[in-house]
Amino acid sequence: MKLDRATILKALETITIAGEGKNMVESGAIANVITFGDEVVVDLVLHTPAMHIKKRAEDDIKKTILELVSSDAKIKINSKVESRDFGTDKPEIKGKAIPGIKNIIAVASGKGGVGKSTVTANLAVILGKMGFAVGILDADIYGPSMPIMFDVETEKPISINVDGKSKMKPVESYEVKILSIGFFTAPSQAVIWRGPMASKALNQMIFDAHWGELDFMLIDLPPGTGDIHLSIMQSLPITGAVVVSTPQAVALADAKKGVSMFLSDAINVPVLGIIENMAYFTPEELPSNKYYIFGKEGAKNLADDLQVPFLGEIPIVQSIREAGDYGRPAALQTGSIIETIFEEVTRNVVQEVVKRNQFLPATEAIKITTMAGCSAVKGK
């Protein structure tokens, strides 16, 4: 086909950018296309700093021109990131911000038992040590573990009066504010809660609670992709999601589904990155000995494949498990190797949040762009 501007633009109309809904040309992402002989220069303007979206858009442009227009084309892409000026075309915002909460991070995993809650608890205490005000919303209806991990199993949130309204006061432990579905029901009962009941309880823990000022709220999501995820993503402005996986193939396959759910057009939540938990076994007294029980760098490779940031690896250490059961997150141990490991991962998470917030408001609720995507996620 002729290598001219019009033919190229027509071809580029077949590409959609994640989260944009419209095709690449319609959405205004193609600022210009110039051709000189077999050379093509495409100016691309994106509204997200997410590297994986930029890389995917560039790859798609090259592939499409080579396949649909000319296999001899020499393609150069100039990419630029611009913050979005919604103007009068402001998208419909679902959900409402919680006053005083600056960043909401959803912690997810595909498979259960990969250490999502352990990672959430340790990220929270390190954020606290860094001087941030932190809260955890334990939304894992299948196994709410925060009350045990923070040794507050026997406590119950009390009701306080805030500006004439009764509000639930989160329980506090190691300077982390916590609300968990586990405070209201025995763990064995939580599992039989139907979706709407769980969503209602979660809504109360979010909007009828007095969280105060928080720099970070971490949400410990149930494993997998389901109704609870959709309901939380619709009712809250999520800053970004962190996906936890072990390097094992079965866990990775499910982690991939988790990442796809967040990046789907229907959910459209930025993925801050993947954390590899149980990356290797290390005896605490011999930290240089590493045994790759579940395979090596599986989650790191997955992050590379999906073009999302890799946030670091956490080894299997006996004291991480013991500390969880005992009710004192292991990273609280000052000077320990575990503290150092979690510090590095937490720094990476904060860095990704900062990058994301440079381009979007601190928290912005997701907009539902297609119902088709919703039912795909719901049908899981």
Q: Does 331 bind ligand ADP (CB under 6 A)?
A: no
186, amino acid identity: A
Q: How far apart are CA 365 and CA 367, in angstroms?
A: 6
User: Cα 203–221–257 angle (5° rounding)?
Assistant: 125
Interface segment toward ligand ADP; rule CB under 6 A; list 110-118, 124-132, 200-208, 293-301: 110-118
Q: Is 137 in the site for ligand ADP (CB under 6 A)?
A: no
Q: Are strands 310-316 and 271-281 parallel, antiparallel or unpaired?
A: parallel
Measured from the CB atom, is 216 or 294 closer to ligand ADP?
Answer: 294
Nearer to ligand ADP, 112 or 373 (CB): 112
Span near ligand ADP by CB under 6 A; candidates 114-122, 152-160, 172-180, 229-237: 114-122
Q: Smaller CB distance to ligand ADP: residue 20 or 140?
A: 140
Q: Which of 35, 48, 145, 348 binds ligand ADP (CB under 6 A)?
A: 145
| DSSP H stretches of helix in the chain | 5-12, 51-64, 116-129, 146-149, 187-190, 195-207, 227-235, 249-263, 298-306, 318-326, 337-359, 371-378
DSSP, collapsed to helix, strand or coil, labels residue 366 as coil
The enclosing H or E element of 23 equals none
Instruction: Decide: is 9 part of the binding site for ligand ADP (CB under 6 A).
Output: no
Residue 22 CA to residue 241 CA, distance in Å, equals 24
> For ligand ADP, which stretch binds (CB under 6 A), given 56-64, 107-115, 179-187, 351-359?
107-115
95 or 315, CB closer to ligand ADP?
315
Our CB check for ligand ADP shows the closer of 103 and 109 to be 109
Task: Outline where 168-317 has alpha helix (H).
Answer: 187-190, 195-207, 227-235, 249-263, 298-306
Residue 275 touching ligand ADP (CB under 6 A): no
Shortest separation between residue 218's beta carbon and ligand ADP, angstroms: 12
Residues 6+ apart with CB under 8 A from 278: 114, 115, 246, 247, 293, 294, 314, 315, 316
Q: Which of 116, 177, 356, 367 binds ligand ADP (CB under 6 A)?
A: 116
Q: Exactly one of 49, 112, 187, 295 binds ligand ADP (CB under 6 A); which one?
A: 112
- 328 contacts ligand ADP (rule: CB under 6 A): no
DSSP state of 65: I
- By CB under 6 A, residue 311 contacts ligand ADP: no
Inter-CA distances, 2 with 6, 42, 66, Å:
9, 16, 12
Q: Is 109 in the site for ligand ADP (CB under 6 A)?
A: yes
Shortest spacing between CB 169 and ligand ADP, in angstroms: 25
- What are the residues binding ligand ADP (CB under 6 A)? 109, 112-118, 143, 145, 277-278, 314, 316-317, 320-321, 324
